[in-house]
Structure 1
Amino acid sequence: MQHFEYKVVAAPRRAKRAKGAKTPAERFAFMLSEVMNAEARDGWEYLRADTLPAEEKKGMLSNPTEVYQTVLVFRRPVSSVVSEPAVARRNAARAVEAEAPTEDEVEDTPRPNPKEPKEPKEPRFSRTGRAATEPPLSAMRLTPGERED
């Protein structure tokens, strides 16, 4: 099965002047062919033109009005180079899901008992240069005679 990716481009509203195109219809046709050829150079195949309704607001306080936008639809086959990374990502996601514990495994894991005593934590700061029994400097109080200026 062949897969396609699609690209939608706004159809030109005004035709540019072109050498040899004298009427507005000829200029418009020239402009469309320019857009189509530019997309074809990138591998896009013209599929169709659609006119679709869209809501548009002219200002902050105005009510939305319905306008019609004309778009050109292009498609190109998705190459195997593009689809291989997608398949690889999908397989990697499946592998991660397979490694994840199931609900039964999660229920079987022991939960910590809040009533059991916890192991003592390591002190956050080491007391270098002072004895471990000496109080920290913040706890020491100087008497008025010991005051350092």
Structure 2
Amino acid sequence: MSPLKVTDGYLTKLADNGIKDLVKSMTGINPNDANGKAIGHVMDFAAGGGGLPSIDGNYTQLLAGAAPFTAGVNLAGDFKTFAGLIKQQLGAISDSLLQLAEAAYKAEKTFNNAEDDALTAAQMFTILGGSPSGPSGGPPAGPPSV
């Protein structure tokens, strides 16, 4: 397994192209995505529009029958409730994903600032009081052991 190297723009691209596109699909905003279209149908049913097609031409209510056919009326109501619960859960997941995207932006900014503020070994030795020396006062024998 190779290590992950976070390069300039990697986390921003992940947040913009991965996470935010997923959120668009989950909330039905991305009609070019097949999953986004399916979620859009769920959102239409959750809103319920008296059975009339939505602007997209999708039906907004399960047409299972009308009174006095109570089973059909109950089924339509239960389906609307079910679609509403799905919408609610997708909204909660979307909110969490947007928080993740924001964390990715902040992490990239921190990485970029850390790279700008990083010191070389020579700069660190200068700050600590001089150049490194070995046990006898001469140059060090080799790299320090970890």
> TM bucket by the smaller chain?
under 0.3
Structure of higher CA gyration radius: 1
Q: Give the structure with the larger strand fraction.
A: 1
Q: Give the structure with the larger helix fraction.
A: 2
Relative to the length of structure 1, the TM-score reads 0.27
Relative to the length of structure 2, the TM-score reads 0.27
